[in-house]
């Protein structure tokens, strides 16, 4: 039994279907990248996996003792967060909220966990700083540390490198790969297919053609070759 098994899933808004017939599974230790064109339903899929949205059809099963609220999440930044007065420590600690239940305050254990995760993301010297004054890369690390407080098993990352410069992007990918090696299962949305194939173990392509398999299989497939060529072409045009 896999961590997450998706069977014949349909996604969309109201009753308009964007994607249907989606089948894939995520096992413990996998590093899955979801790719596809804009508007193909990547973020909708992620929100459905997090139970923030109801699927239009099909089912999502959690296995191997993975509870629905044990999935850590790195969302795209919202407007609210850009000028939010909060220290790094406060934000990371808020990742422990799902351990509290109805208990009003954080325990010593949870504070230690938050400190440990800040160290892991190398942001411990920023802990008193204000979130809105940090650079984009630092902010992502803060949100990653928060997500790590919420889970030891699965992380969902929505465009983790969006808006970061090339050096920080590479650092971010290395950090995520590091976490994956430590045993955390990772599901990531990315536009950056060229970088993704370097790091990830599985690829799910959604859009007109659906593909799910290992990275090697993807590079051999029609969907993969076409998408890869398109992106390469795009890069060629831009650069």
Partner 1 sequence: MDKLVLYLTFPFVRYALIVGILIALCSSLLGVTLVLKRFSFIGDGLSHVAFGAMAIAAVLQLTNEMVIVLPVTVISAVLLLRTGQNAKIKGDAAIAMISVGALAFGYLIMNVFSTSSNLSGDVCSTLFGSTSILTLTPGEVWLCTALSVAVMLIFILFYNKIFAVTFDEDFARATGTKADSYNLMIAVVIAVIIVLAMNLVGSLLISALVIFPALSAMRIFNTFRAVTVCSAILSVICALGGIIISILAGTPVGSTIVAVDVAAFVICYITGIAVKGAGR
Binding site for partner 1 (CB under 8 A): 47, 50-52, 67-69, 71-73, 75, 78, 80-81, 84-87, 90-91, 93-95, 97-98, 100, 104-106, 128-130, 132-133, 146-147, 150-151, 156
**Closest CB to partner 1 among residues 86, 230:** 86
Q: What are phi and psi of 126, to 5 degrees?
A: -95, 0
* Bridge partners (DSSP) listed for residue 33: 188, 203
Q: How far is CA 75 from CA 50, 100, 152, 156, in A?
A: 11, 22, 17, 8
For 162, counting Cβ atoms within 10 Å of its Cβ (0-12 exposed, 13-18 middle, 19+ buried), the class is middle
**Closest CB to partner 1 among residues 52, 230:** 52
The distance of closest approach from Cβ of residue 37 to partner 1 in the complex, given in angstroms and rounded to an integer, is 23
**Closest CB to partner 1 among residues 22, 91:** 91
DSSP-derived secondary structure letter, 17 = E
**Closest CB to partner 1 among residues 84, 233:** 84
| CA pair distance 175, 142, nearest whole angstrom | 13
The distance of closest approach from Cβ of residue 209 to partner 1 in the complex, given in angstroms and rounded to an integer, is 29
Tell me the CB-side half-sphere exposure of residue 70, using CA atoms within 13 A.
Answer: 13
The distance of closest approach from Cβ of residue 133 to partner 1 in the complex, given in angstroms and rounded to an integer, is 7
CB atoms within 10 A of CB 108: 7
| CA pair distance 117, 113, nearest whole angstrom | 6
> Angle, nearest 10°, between helix axes 136-150 and 108-120?
140
**Closest CB to partner 1 among residues 97, 177:** 97
The distance of closest approach from Cβ of residue 144 to partner 1 in the complex, given in angstroms and rounded to an integer, is 12
Tell me the CB-side half-sphere exposure of residue 130, using CA atoms within 13 A.
Answer: 7
Provide the terminal-to-terminal Cα distance of the chain, rounded to the nearest Å.
45
**Closest CB to partner 1 among residues 156, 161:** 156
**Closest CB to partner 1 among residues 116, 129:** 129
The distance of closest approach from Cβ of residue 228 to partner 1 in the complex, given in angstroms and rounded to an integer, is 31
The distance of closest approach from Cβ of residue 147 to partner 1 in the complex, given in angstroms and rounded to an integer, is 8
The distance of closest approach from Cβ of residue 192 to partner 1 in the complex, given in angstroms and rounded to an integer, is 23
| CA pair distance 156, 153, nearest whole angstrom | 10
């Amino acid at each position: 039994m896999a961590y997450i098994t998706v069977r014949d899933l349909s996604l969309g808004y109201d009753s308009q279907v964007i994607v249907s017939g989606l089948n894939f599974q995520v096992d413990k230790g996998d590093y899955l990248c979801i790719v596809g064109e804009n508007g193909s339903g990547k973020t909708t899929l992620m929100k459905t996996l997090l139970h923030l949205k109801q699927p239009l059809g099909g089912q999502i099963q959690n296995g191997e003792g993975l509870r629905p609220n044990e999935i850590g999440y790195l969302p795209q930044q919202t407007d609210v967060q850009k000028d939010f007065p909060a220290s790094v420590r406060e934000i990371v600690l808020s990742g422990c909220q799902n351990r509290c239940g109805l208990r009003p305050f954080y325990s010593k254990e949870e504070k230690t966990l938050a400190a440990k995760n800040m160290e892991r993301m190398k942001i411990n010297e920023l802990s008193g700083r204000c979130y809105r004054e940090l650079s984009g890369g630092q902010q992502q690390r803060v949100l990653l540390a928060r997500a790590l407080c919420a889970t030891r098993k699965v992380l969902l990352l929505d465009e983790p490198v969006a808006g970061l410069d090339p050096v920080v992007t590479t650092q971010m990918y290395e950090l995520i790969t590091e976490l994956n090696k430590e045993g955390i299962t990772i599901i990531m949305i990315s536009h950056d297919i060229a970088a993704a194939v370097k790091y990830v173990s599985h690829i799910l392509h959604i859009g007109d053609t659906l593909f799910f398999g290992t990275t090697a299989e993807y590079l051999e497939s029609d969907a993969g070759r076409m998408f890869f060529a398109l992106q390469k072409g795009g890069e060629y045009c831009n650069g």
